[in-house]
Structure 1
């Protein structure tokens, strides 16, 4: 099984089968990955977004693009030593003709302010930039989400515009 490893984390991209299992029974999916059962504290708004992404994006897109599923799936953010999923990160698709893709992430509230999101975002952006097709990674966050904005800037994302109530950040290949 493919995964990325950072100092404290594993980033595990979920295959189509694992996403389908997750939709049916998250605890069974975690067990299949050899993880301890998580009990994530997630804002209800993000929970709705995650359920929508699972049903309407990750599952259909990994089925449609099995050879490029890494660009269309949720990557579980896992604490290596505890074997515990603490969030998710990923992309919204294979880079377009301009070399651009978009990333998004979510972290269990129990694990905020410990540097895990920064470690995961750094790991996945480094992985993306290891692909010659990628020249720019976009990230969007709400204008009032100061922790997310600060995190993006700490990882090297720069403000690039605004779309309704979302601020757009981007990071260019160095």
Structure 2
């Protein structure tokens, strides 16, 4: 099984079969399949909805379409080694596009925030992704109000390059970030 190891974390990319288990039988079944200790994620409703949408409309279809490159199109479970449980997810928007860009997104269970796990996971996936010579820039977006997520990106050498607004579920201003190789 493919994975990325850090001192405290293991990142496991979910292939199409694993995503199907999650989609059809729930996270508990996925945790059993991966031999993980159960952990009910505590995340804001916005992130729950965003994850459900990504599972249905992006990860499942894209891992089916690109089975050999699925690692670029899926959720990577963030596993806390000492507890052998999933504490969040992280992923990319796909293989580098024509401009050499991809985007990163992540979420950490509220019970495990404030311990540097997001910073460690972003750094690990960023380093893995930059091994692809076609990748020049990793982009990210954070709500302007989410100072903790901004610190995660700053610690991983991302810089603010602009602002925009999204309207899901309500108008939310965002910072746009980039990390250049």
Q: Considering the TM-score relative to the shorter chain, is it more than 0.5?
A: yes
**Aligned counterpart, 2:10:** 10
Q: Give deviations 1:6-48, integer Å, cap 9, x for gaps.
A: 0100000000010010112211111111111111111011101
**Aligned counterpart, 2:50:** 49
**Aligned counterpart, 1:171:** 179
Q: Give deviations 1:95-117, integer Å, cap 9, x for gaps.
A: 10111100000000000000100
SS in 2 for 1:38: coil
- In structure 1, what is the Cα distance between the partners aligned to 2:143 and 2:17? 32
SS in 2 for 1:162: strand
- In structure 2, what is the Cα distance between the partners aligned to 1:101 and 1:149? 18
5+ residue gaps in structure 1? none
Offset at residue 81 of structure 1 (A) = 2.0
**Aligned counterpart, 1:33:** 34
Q: How does 1:1-174 map to 2 (within 5 A)?
A: 1-24=1-24, 25-164=26-165, 165-173=173-181
Q: Give deviations 1:51-92, integer Å, cap 9, x for gaps.
A: 011001100111111111101000000011211000000001
- In structure 2, what is the Cα distance between the partners aligned to 1:64 and 1:162? 32
Offset at residue 163 of structure 1 (A) = 1.9
Q: Give deviations 1:116-174, integer Å, cap 9, x for gaps.
A: 0010000000001111111110010111111111211111100111122221100011x
- In structure 2, what is the Cα distance between the partners aligned to 1:26 and 1:108? 13
SS in 1 for 2:43: coil
- In structure 2, what is the Cα distance between the partners aligned to 1:101 and 1:95? 5
- In structure 1, what is the Cα distance between the partners aligned to 2:135 and 2:119? 20
- In structure 2, what is the Cα distance between the partners aligned to 1:5 and 1:75? 12
SS in 1 for 2:57: helix
Q: How many residues align?
A: 173
TM-score (norm 1): 0.97
Cα RMSD, aligned residues only: 0.8
